[in-house]
Amino acid sequence: MARFPQHFLWGGAIAANQAEGAWNVDGKGPSIADVVRGGIASGQHDAVIDPNHYYPSHEAVDFYHRYKEDVALFAEMGFQCFRTSIAWSRIFPRGDEQAPNEAGLAFYDRLFDELLKYGIEPVITLSHYETPLALYQEYGGWTNRALITHFTRYCETVFRRYRGKVKYWMTFNELNNMNRMPFATGAVDADASLQEIYQANHHQFVANALANKLCHEIIPEAQIGCMLSLSTVYPATCHPDDIFETQQLRRRSLFYSDVMMNGEYPAWSARLFRDNNITLAMEPDDLELIARYPSDYLGFSYYRSVVHKAGAQMQIDTGGAKGEDNPWLKKTAWGWPVDPKGLRTVCNELADRYRKPLFIVENGYGGVDEVAPDGTIDDVERIEYARQHILEMAEAIADGCDIIGYTWWGPIDIISAGTGEMKKRYGFIYVDKDNDGKGTLARSRKRSFDWYKQVIASNGEVV
């Protein structure tokens, strides 16, 4: 019996703000990512763009101008799908215009055509930490209900434009990061109250439902999912307090998929709101919309697991929560525990809970790559990380999990959402650029490039 279904989708994933650059080219407006000098995850940003400072997103790895070269490399690896985002402010530079920017639409036509030329399915995220800056500065981000109208106008525009080119969509990237990275996820200040965060969430849930409705009406054959960060959490001991607090932490993440996949607020959220004095402002038909238009599949990121001890203060970064050390696991150079079995655990957890297809749209190894004198990059740790996780994904499929596909995070080196660095590299393709923005941007293949090519060619049989 084959490990993976015949039509399993193998590929890679990036985000526009971490790869495209060209931040003000062809009519693009600034996004929230464009005022960040470090990683967007921190929530620290400038009020205005200072020409004397370095902003990683402004050039990134110049995918905007080099996409043909990069797509050809993805095709050489055998990609069957490629996940990226549409930069909302390329289409609507402020976010609130009535008419879109044609030059922005034309860029994604060219990109999608290039992908389809090689038989690569675009997998498109509509909002990946790229809210137009004006919607933050003048509206207050997703705390303002007006963003539902602006977002759905944007969604309708791109659904109609790319209806013959894109079959797989996702609405918001890692929406559950609103409770730890509100600026990136919802254009909400980092010190926002829980009232503001959950009100913004409610607006995003309504926008998610309306986007699902529009997508099914405009592209009946399409699939549109939600996307969450779902690296998992274990209790530090069998003490009941450790177990219960760990369950509560997990619930706080799965709250988001419960609403978008099941179409209703979970029963326990009433106590969450009551205990934190949260009162959501709703329109009369909001809950009906959420119920009628749930997500078709659950896309998620998985990088690691974390251990929680009752009463401990949890820290957060782009890989998820950080807690106690797990003595059974090795760590990456950035201190992230490597837990392939955790991926199988999460797949089974989500399959049991939602009984809908799953799409692993981010999994990857961030490491420090050394370029040898002959130009080779022997990234054996990346290969081993991917091999172990792919084997556990195969076990999850054998367990009965319906998994659509697997897109490795950062198949080409991109800037880090956590720190804005280039030093933390995920790619099978090396990009000559350093943390200060210096370098030729030349692309070269790492050892993992040929390894992943072999994995795809064998549909996961040779790892």
| pLDDT for 185 | 96
Q: Which residues are catalytic?
A: 174, 362
- Torsion 82-296-259-230 (CA) sign: negative
Domains along the chain? 9-457 (3.20.20.80)
| pLDDT for 322 | 64
The span from the CA of 73 to the CA of 82, in Å, is 12
What would the two tokens of residue 305 be? 């697991």
Q: What angle do CA 320, 325, 331 make, to 5 degrees?
A: 70
Q: What angle do CA 91, 93, 94 make, to 5 degrees?
A: 130
| pLDDT for 43 | 78
| pLDDT for 208 | 98
Give yes or no for a contact between 333 and 267, defined as CB atoms under 8 angstroms apart: no
Alpha-carbon dihedral angle through residues 335, 340, 343, 349, given to the nearest 10 degrees? -110
Give yes or no for a contact between 301 and 229, defined as CB atoms under 8 angstroms apart: yes
What would the two tokens of residue 139 be? 């509206």
pLDDT tens, residue order, the chain (463 aa): 578 999 999 999 999 999 999 999 999 999 999 999 988 888 789 989 999 899 999 999 999 999 999 999 999 999 999 999 999 999 999 999 999 999 999 999 999 999 999 999 999 999 999 999 999 999 999 999 999 999 999 999 999 999 999 999 999 999 999 988 999 999 999 999 999 999 999 999 999 999 999 999 999 999 999 999 999 999 999 999 999 999 999 999 999 999 999 999 999 999 999 999 999 999 999 999 999 999 999 999 999 999 999 998 766 655 566 678 899 999 998 889 999 999 999 999 999 999 999 999 999 999 999 999 999 999 999 999 999 999 999 999 999 999 999 999 999 999 999 889 999 999 999 999 999 999 999 999 999 999 999 999 999 999 9
Closest Cα partner for 456 from 69, 55, 80? 80
What would the two tokens of residue 371 be? 């370029």
| pLDDT for 1 | 57
pTM of the prediction? 0.96
